[in-house]
Amino acid sequence: MEFFTLHDFMTYSKGITYLVMGAILIFMPLYWIYLTDRDD
């Protein structure tokens, strides 16, 4: 991926970052449920 302006770079890298953050926000509560669902 080639970038010609800082704006291009930020749009691309922040876009990917937000997607990763969204995935983490969904994954972490599910992971917590997985960790604790057998607790007494």
Partner 1 sequence: MAQEQTIAQKQYLTPFNVVAGMIIIVGLVLTILRFTKGIGAVTNLDNNNPWGLWIGFDLLCGVSLAAGGYVTSSACYIFGLKKYHSAVRPAILTAFLGYALVVFALNYDVGRPWKLPYPIFYSQGTSSLLFEVGLCVFLYLTVLFVEFTPAAFEWLGFRKIRNWVLRLTLVLTIFGVVLSTLHQSSLGALFLIAPSKLHPLWYSGYLHVYFFISSMFAGMSMVIFEGTLAHRWLHDKMDDTHLAEANGVVLGFGKAASFIMMGYFGIKIIGIAVDNNWHYLTTGLGLWFFVELIVFVLFPAILYSVGSREKKTLLIRIAAVWTILGIILNRLNVSLIAFNWHLPSADRYFPSFMEIGTTIFIITLGVVAYKFVVTRMPILYEHPEYKEDH
Applying CB under 8 A, the residues found at the interface with partner 1 are 1, 9, 12-14, 16-17, 20-21, 24, 27-28, 31-32, 34-36, 38
CA distance 34 to 32: 5
At closest approach, how far in Å is the CB of 28 from partner 1?
6
At closest approach, how far in Å is the CB of 4 from partner 1?
14
Radius of gyration of the chain (CA): 17
Q: Considering beta carbons, is residue 4 or 34 the nearer one to partner 1? A: 34
